[in-house]
Amino acid sequence: MEKELKYIDIVDQPISMHPKKFALWLFLVTVVMIFAALTSAYIVRQAEGNWLEYELPEIFWLTSALVIISSIAMQWAYYSAKKDNFLSLRIGMIFALLFGIAFLVGQWYSWVALVDRQVFFVGNPAGSFLYVFTGLHAVHLISGVIFLIIVLISTFRMEVHAKALDTLEMATTYWHFLGGLWLYLFLFLQMNH
């Protein structure tokens, strides 16, 4: 008796992702590459000498705490949306937004502290790198704040709920990414200034 082999056609299920989420992930990869290049350039340039030694502004510790709290509030908003708890969703979004704005204000004061310490954008590459790192991160954070405002408005229009989370998921991903990016930069600067 011959054994017949039966073949089962297996249809590969394509990996599907919302096109806007895919675009967001491509953008995040691009930002990672930019900051990886900048931190690499920082290390190479620092090894060449003629590097200004200075203390980082103490306010960086506060801004780091603010970005962590903001990220926690954003995650709370996301969990609240999954449960259709609209009040908690809005409160979480507002706190995330307010702590994000407070972070930006703190970054401005960090630049004031740098100027007081005679660390300027021009003059020495050490200062230039610090201003580029913090300024470029601030630009991305401003875009994140705008994104949060748009999503917050959507929550008041009842457009964000348990069955419509795409925009909130993207905002949450971007916001956590920005928080993680700041913590990476802060630790990098702590270890390499």
pLDDT tens-digit readout, 28-44: 999 999 999 999 999 99
Class of domain 56-192: mainly alpha
Block residue for tokens 């408005």: 153
Is pLDDT at 8 greater than 80 in this prediction? Answer: no
Domain ranges in the chain are 56-192
pTM: 0.88
- Comparing 63 with 9, the larger pLDDT belongs to 63
Average pLDDT over residues 175-188: 97
pLDDT at 1: 46
pLDDT at 193: 76
pLDDT at 18: 80
